[in-house]
Amino acid sequence: MTQNPSHDQALQAAIARLLRPLVRLLLRYSVPFGAFAEIAKRAYVEAAMEDFALPDRKPTASRASVLTGLTRKEVQRLLDESRSRAGAADATDPRYNRAARVMTAWMRDPEFHDENGRPRALEATGDVGFAGLVRRYSGDMPSRAVLDELLRVGAVRERADGLLVPSARAYVPKAGQAEKFAILGADVASLIDTIDHNLQHGADDPRFQRKVLYHSIDVEDLPAFRKLSALQAQALLEKLDAWLAQRDAAPSARADAPRARVGLGIYHIEERRDDASAPRRPRS
């Protein structure tokens, strides 16, 4: 805990609010409290071992036990299980990254656009087809493997004439439930990491963390805002993507320059008010 009663109360209130939508999701998918508690224990142990190790000291189960409040036997059990557990789908793994990279490139590379500047339908093979797109933006990953993944999750579809067209402007799985869960874990974790960083270092090394939010918008205005925000957010993300793509794994003037995972996330906020008696402004 933070060793400050008012801070403790504020932190606990924030955690309760953070957990509410997560618990709602868990109940929808029939995940009982016992399963959640087991996951939370494992997360406590992994954080204690990996994020709170003492300098020049090998992390131990005994220290993790002290930090987490779990028994040493319980800590050791969780460590053993973590070592034997096969990795689940992860939105930071190479398959996800390469599929996302291919979709983003399809949206922004003019060589793969039509005369109106829109992503054009592609043949599966050829230098100016899907195979060429994958070769240019996904390294040595076989184009068939990337295509199978994008078809499987509904990000790409094959027309009756055999040409391939994107179903969305980004790798946002429509059919792959496991991939959607992986994105949930990766994106929410990144947001919490940013908030944690700003709590510790916001005064001298802040990371961008902003939102625009109003509490009494007429529901008839929501479709217009969804369209406006989606268009402007997508345009910004594609601009930033182009900047980052030029620098991703590119040779650096500094020998052995350290690399970092970096990006910017944008999400839509919408919550309907139950107050049906709230006054509605007249429509012009």
Task: Return d(Cα 64, Cα 44) in angstroms, integer.
Answer: 8
Tokens of 94: 């190479």
User: What type of residue is 20?
Assistant: R
Task: Give the gyration radius of the chain's Cα atoms.
Answer: 23
Tokens of 180: 């959607």
CB 179 within 8 A of CB 173: yes
Name the β-bridge partners of 158: 164
Task: Return d(Cα 119, Cα 164) in angstroms, integer.
Answer: 11
Full-model pTM: 0.68
CB 15 within 8 A of CB 40: no
- Give residues with Cβ within 8 angstroms of 153, minimum separation 6: 171, 173, 174, 175, 176, 179
Q: How far is CA 86 from the centre of its chain?
A: 21
For residue range 153-195, what is the model confidence (pLDDT) as tens digits? 788 999 999 999 998 766 666 656 777 787 888 899 999 999 9
Give yes or no for residue 197 having a pLDDT over 80.
yes
Give yes or no for residue 209 having a pLDDT over 60.
yes
Give yes or no for residue 2 having a pLDDT over 60.
no
CB 207 within 8 A of CB 197: yes
Quick one: pLDDT at residue 88?
47
For residue range 241-273, what is the model confidence (pLDDT) as tens digits? 888 877 877 677 677 788 888 999 999 999 987
Quick one: pLDDT at residue 89?
46
Quick one: pLDDT at residue 1?
45
Give yes or no for residue 4 having a pLDDT over 60.
yes
Quick one: pLDDT at residue 186?
86
For residue range 53-102, what is the model confidence (pLDDT) as tens digits? 888 889 999 999 999 999 999 999 999 888 766 444 444 455 566 778 88
Give yes or no for residue 137 having a pLDDT over 70.
yes
Give yes or no for residue 138 having a pLDDT over 90.
no
- Give residues with Cβ within 8 angstroms of 104, minimum separation 6: 170, 171, 238, 241, 245
Quick one: pLDDT at residue 93?
53
Quick one: pLDDT at residue 175?
57
Mean pLDDT of the chain: 85
CB 96 within 8 A of CB 90: yes
pLDDT tier for residue 238 given thresholds of 50, 70 and 90: confident
Quick one: pLDDT at residue 96?
62
Q: Looking at residue 165, what DSSP letter applies?
A: E
For residue range 113-124, what is the model confidence (pLDDT) as tens digits? 999 888 999 999
Percentage of the chain modeled with pLDDT above 70: 86
Of the ranges 122-126, 150-154, 200-204, which one carries the lowest mean pLDDT score?
Answer: 150-154
For residue range 99-112, what is the model confidence (pLDDT) as tens digits? 788 888 898 888 99
